[in-house]
Structure 1
Amino acid sequence: MNFLSHYYFDKSNDDANVVLGTVLPDLIKNASKEANLYPQKNEFLFLGNPDEESLLRGWKRHLAVDLLFHSSNFFLEKTTELKLLIKPIVEDTAVRPSFLAHIGLELLLDHLLIEHNLIQVNHFYDKLSAVKQESLGDFLTHCGLKDQSVFFKFMEGFISSKYLLSYQKLENISYALNRICMRLWPETLNEKQLAALTFQLGIFKETLEKDFMEIFDEISDQLSAS
């Protein structure tokens, strides 16, 4: 799941450190794809510091949500459906339609949460801004992230740009998908292909909108039961 979908499960949580923890794995990967951190394997390192314990709790929540989402029938069915729609658009490129369908589904779920007023994006950014940099830095040190300057520069830009607000428009989701593809393949989608992608995302959205809350309800129930 993407940032806002992860936030959905903790949107009422008053602990800003937990909220940041729920998106921290993806923030770190976006800042530095070489970073591989596994704080959940050394939980004792964070004991005794409430802020770090909360960050770890959020981190583990992120892992649990992703596992439930990616192993769900919903994920399999929806990505298969979207893949069929976008496959003709990328058939003459190196872009894998299965990858594009995977990320496209996640961004559309964020889009629908915003559109249906189920989350407040500005509240999400307020929570991230409320986390003390010193506590986050200590957490990352215990995680083994040595050079933190790249991460903090990325996070500062992530918060100040409020980029996720752009997901309110489908054409911006196509643009974001193309940017993600640029990290993996040298050939990107041209303007005609981007327009076709936006069109197909719109068609898929009409179907997805009918039952998209099922996956959030399903995961919420499983989290509560665990």
Structure 2
Amino acid sequence: MNYLAHAIDCLDDPYQVAGAATPDWLCMTRPRLRCRSRQAAPFVDADDSKMASYARGVMRHHADDDWFHETGAFGDLSMELARQVRWATGDRDGMRPGFLGHILVELLLDAALIAEDRRGVDAYYEVLATVDAEFVASAIGQMNGCDASGVAGLITRFVELRFLYDYMEDETLLFRLNQVMRRVKLPELPERMLEILPGARKLVAEHRVALLTPRPAETPMLAVTSL
């Protein structure tokens, strides 16, 4: 899952929203620093209500990812989008297709949620704007036993940039994808990616409900029609 999907059911709890975003924030700024459920668990009953909510958000993120990545919809769609990425990039091997198949499902799921009701993403940023970024950085430091003060600046920039809105247009989505490529030290994506993004967007939107519903083991895998 990506930022909005993690938080859509707890938008009335600002520090839980921040906790749900934290593992992804750390990937952007401190990739060797992690905030795991086992580190957050001792704080869910903290006397400080902000700390307790924040810890629940961190645990929500990991619990969401655990079931989301096991759904049939995620598996089928990520493989199909990886196939389309291989066509667009000409990659025959390497990491890009599989990596992009995975993250495109997540980013385009957020885009589908925004398209369905823009009030959700508006509320998401309004809620995060009320969060004390220094408090969040301090909480990360307490959970990890380290100095995480630098994360506060990232949180402030994240709220200012509001880049989730960029997922709604193919050109700005490609720009954001290439930022990710540079961060993980993979080659940037060609303009030909713009030929597959409209279909990928439609495919993920059509399976939004399946992506957001944990799948019992006996449920048949969904059929994905190649575009």
Alpha-carbon deviation of 1:118?
A: 6.0
Pair 1:50-2:46 in alignment: no
Q: CA RMSD in A?
A: 2.4
Q: What TM-score does the superposition give when structure 2 sets the normalisation length?
A: 0.84
Alpha-carbon deviation of 1:36?
A: 2.1
Alpha-carbon deviation of 1:134?
A: 5.1
Match of 1:28 in 2: 26
Q: Which ranges of structure 1 fall in alignment gaps of 5 or more residues?
A: 222-226
2-side partners of 1:206 and 1:105: how far apart? 11
Any conservation in 2 of the 1:16–1:127 contact (CA below 8 Å)?
Answer: yes
Any conservation in 2 of the 1:20–1:128 contact (CA below 8 Å)?
Answer: yes
Pair 1:62-2:61 in alignment: yes
Listed as ranges, the matches of 1:132-171 within 5 Å are 132-133=132-133, 135-144=135-144, 146-171=146-171
1-side partners of 2:211 and 2:85: how far apart? 22
Change (3 A) 1:182 1:138: closer
Match of 2:208 in 1: 212
Any conservation in 1 of the 2:39–2:144 contact (CA below 8 Å)?
Answer: no
1-side partners of 2:78 and 2:17: how far apart? 27
Alpha-carbon deviation of 1:39?
A: 5.4
Match of 1:131 in 2: 131
Match of 1:91 in 2: 90
Q: What TM-score does the superposition give when structure 1 sets the normalisation length?
A: 0.84
2-side partners of 1:27 and 1:220: how far apart? 28
Q: Which ranges of structure 2 fall in alignment gaps of 5 or more residues?
A: 217-227
2-side partners of 1:90 and 1:40: how far apart? 39
Match of 1:224 in 2: none
In the TM superposition, what whole-angstrom CA distance separates every residue of 1:87-140 from its partner, at most 9, and x where no partner exists?
A: 122235855201011111111111111111165222111111212345424412
2-side partners of 1:52 and 1:65: how far apart? 20
